[in-house]
A = this chain, B = another copy of it.
Amino acid sequence: MASEDNEVEDHRPLVLIHSLSSFKLPLQDRLITHFRLFDSLASPEASSVRALICVGPTPVTADTLDHLPSLRLVVGSSAGLDHVDLAECHRRGIAVTNSGDAYSENVADYAVALLLDVLRRVSSADRFVRSGLWPQMGEYPLGRKLGGKRIGIVGLGSIGSEVAKRLVAFGCTVAYNSRNKKPSVLYPYYANVHDLAVNSDFLIVCCALTNETHHIINKDVLTALGREGVIINVGRGALVDEKELVQFLVQGEIGGAGLDVFENEPNVPKELFALDNVVLSPHLAVLTPESFEALNEVIIANLKAFFSNKPLLSPFQQE
């Protein structure tokens, strides 16, 4: 309680919650303990605020930044930051953090789930049973073994590393492509995705979406991957040339796909609905209740570090 003799000062730093109205951040209570919050660019506080939390895929553009002359930090709530104009932030000396490792295990689990599902036809078999066909038709087509297969990881960041760790336990071998070879990593490195595809049975796309990685999975890569190849995308839809992929799948020129992301969510190419060698997912890889907790911690840790002039926990780095 404030009184004239003994006013309690509010030392909490000011933070903007930047979100499209449809996205809410389920951590407001925790934040209020540490920070004073507001949520409108039109507020007078916009001119002095030094940090913002960017909720979900709410865009941070040059125009956004024009409203925030004192801004020095953008705290993202996802692993991907393609909705943030990173070049503009860089230009203005604004640091950007992402969700760091908060999601990595969850996304990795999901990538493996999709791969297993495509290879062993789990969803397709489930449909078969639910439609009452088992008693009628007796058998269901065989799946394919996972062990011994060559996995190509596109983008060996924290997500890609967690995927690799899991698939090695199934008896797979792992190779990767990243922007740069990683000296401490023992898996074979390929300087481009085409060569990785030539030498892989399955590709798992885990990298960030940037101008360079847009449609990194293109007709050339799909051809190199081949008729038995399977592609799993838990990154961003635009990493894959979706039109080409659909063609390859429909023509049977690739073995299958597990897709959690699409170029124009929530729209999914309808040709895929008829295919049993495809598993479709509504952008779920990230989310479990446990990962919200981890996300909270990363967001709060980054903000506290910033306001204490300490090193940020998870500054965004491209792999």
Binding site for B on A (CB under 8 A): 22, 105-106, 109-110, 112-114, 116-117, 120-123, 125-130, 134-135, 138-140, 142-148, 165-166, 168-171, 265-268, 273, 279-282, 284, 287-291
Contact = CB atoms under 8 A, between A and B. Distances in A.
Contact of A268 (B112, B129, B138): B129
A128 B148 CA distance: 32
A284 B268 CA distance: 29
A138 B266 contact: yes
A143 B113 CA distance: 12
Q: How many copies of this protein are present in the complex?
A: 2
A279 B122 contact: yes
B147 A109 contact: yes
Contact of A145 (B134, B135, B146, B288): B288
B280 A129 contact: yes
A34 to B, nearest CB: 25
B289 A134 contact: no
Contacts of A280: 125-126, 129-130
A166 B171 CA distance: 9
B109 A142 contact: no
Given A123-B122, A125-B281, A279-B122, A145 B113 contact: no
Nearest to A266: B134
B113 A120 contact: yes
B273 A109 contact: no
Contacts of A166: 166, 169-170
Chain B CB count within 10 A is highest, among A122, A129, A143, A265, for: A122
A112 B106 CA distance: 15
14 contacts: A105-B145, A109-B145, A110-B120, A113-B122, A114-B122, A116-B116, A116-B117, A120-B284, A122-B279, A130-B280, A138-B266, A142-B284, A143-B284, A144-B289
